[in-house]
Each structure stands twice: as C-alpha cells, then as structure tokens.
Structure 1
C-alpha cells in the first residue's frame, strides 16, 4: 500500500507540464531538513500531489509517483549550482532527492483557498498557518478526500 505526499514546486521553475513532458525527473534542491527527512521516507510507488506554489493561485495541479527512492542530491556538491552546500560531500551527503514520475495533470488547479474551506482538511499540514514545507506527508483520508473534491 502506498504512502501519500505533497510536493511543492514553483511552476515557473518546474511545473506539472514540465514533468508531463519529461515523464520522470529528479526532485532536487530541497534544503530543509524536515522536508529532506520526509523524502528519505518515500518509497517507490508512493503517490504525490504535485502542488504549484508561489503563483496565483497556488494549489494542487496533478499527481505524480515516486519512481526512485532517496539518493544523494549531487547539486549540493556543485559550486556553480544554486543548491550548493559546502558542508555536503560525496562521502558525507547532507541533502537527498527522489525521482518522480508523471501520473496525471488535473483539468483545473485545486486551490489552497478551496482546500482551506474543507473542515475535513483542517489538520492537514498544508492548511495549517505558517506551514511552509516543500515536502510533506498526506494521510490516506486526506488523499481520498482531495481526490473526491476534484471529481465534483
């Protein structure tokens, strides 16, 4: 049985359309320890809500799945990368990434405002005030409820 996740990306950097075109892609550049730890918990086959952030309106744009479990994020070793971290090395990596595979793009974005209006999602990390994690777990009941919202 899969676990469920939500992963945020700014659509002008990497969108659901980019993933659809590429079919699979590494999810690199995560530089928050809690988000990194969540990625280390991801298993092949886990399902992911692909969330567009820092745009108007922010929201869930589609679904992806994990196709490769966590491995060192080599962008942290590249001094020319925006994600460079001098304390991360090949022998002692500090940052990790997973590979995601496109599953589906939704016809419309399910906005953060719509998600916040649902009492069933009041305890969801995404809808909590101050939650800014780019990677977070979703419960099975939250996943199922969100999928039903889309079908309405």
Structure 2
C-alpha cells in the first residue's frame, strides 16, 4: 500500500508537541468535523503526519506516523466519530511557520491555506517533502 501524507492541527495549550513526545503516542480524538473525520478514516498504518501547532505559534513542529487506524472515538458515545493513534517520529530542527508556507508558491494549494479551519487534512508527497526540507529535514526523514 502506498504511504499517504497528512497534516493535523492542535492548539499547543491543549496538547503540545512536547506533550506528544513525552506521551510517546496519542489518540487523535475529539474531531467533530465530517471532512476531518473522513480524513481520519482514510489514514493507514504507517502514513506520515505533520504536527501543526495552531492558534499560538502557527508552526509545523514535527513528524508523526499513524500507528493505529480508525476506531470509535473514546470521547463520545456517538458512533459516527472516530480516532486514530499517532506516534511522534522526529521534531523539525526549524519549525515551519504559516507565513513561510504562505510565501512558498509550491504550497499555495494546500488545505492549510485553502481550508484553514480543517483540523485533519491530506497533503501530497511533494508538499510534505517541501515542508520537511523547509524545516531542516531530508525527505524521507
């Protein structure tokens, strides 16, 4: 199966990159947007995920992988909602800001800019690799 690429957004006041690294994995739950939920359902084990700190900071902080595919969201009894489990992989040496992303023509079409309120969004491999490079990592890191 082909690896897919994603970006997830989280407010650092609620759950930071540092919390994620300390916990060594997390249930990506509490998503209550249908499009974001459908993206969670499309994730496969091993998919690569960029962790974006929203609201304050507005930077891509690191890379994670999907370690467990969609399962019932433990934060609700409503079976329409799902969660996935993510594991942190590597922190970007240089966090990539929203302003840097906006200023990069090759990233002009990513959902982060087109659907700014979406919390779970797909990326194409070239977009994922471009953000890694901007953050000081080689593609495939």
Question: What is the alpha-carbon distance in structure 2 between the residues aligned to residue 136 and residue 28 of structure 1?
Answer: 15
> Which of 116, 124, 128 does residue 110 from structure 2 map onto?
124
Largest Rg, 1 or 2: 1
Question: What is the alpha-carbon distance in structure 1 between the residues aligned to residue 80 and residue 121 of structure 2?
Answer: 19
Structure 1, unpaired ranges of 5+: 78-87
Question: What is the alpha-carbon distance in structure 2 between the residues aligned to residue 5 and residue 68 of structure 1?
Answer: 15
In the other structure, the counterpart of 1:103 is 89
For the aligned residue pairs, the C-alpha RMSD in angstroms reads 1.3
- Could you list the runs of 4 or more consecutive aligned residues of structure 1 that deviate by over 4 angstroms after TM superposition? none
In the other structure, the counterpart of 1:31 is 32
Aligned: 1:133 with 2:118: yes
Structure 2, unpaired ranges of 5+: none
After TM superposition, the score normalised by the length of structure 1 is 0.85
After TM superposition, the score normalised by the length of structure 2 is 0.92
- Which shifted more, 99-108 or 27-36? 99-108
Question: What is the alpha-carbon distance in structure 2 between the residues aligned to residue 148 and residue 75 of structure 1?
Answer: 35
For this pair of structures, how many residues does the alignment match? 136
SS at structure 2 position matched to 1:75: coil
Deviation at 1:131, TM superposition (A): 2.4
1:71-114 residue CA offsets vs partner (Å, 9 max, x unmatched)? 0002112xxxxxxxxxx1xxxx0100000001011233210011
Deviation at 1:35, TM superposition (A): 0.0
**8 Å contact 2:40–2:70 — kept in the other structure?**
yes
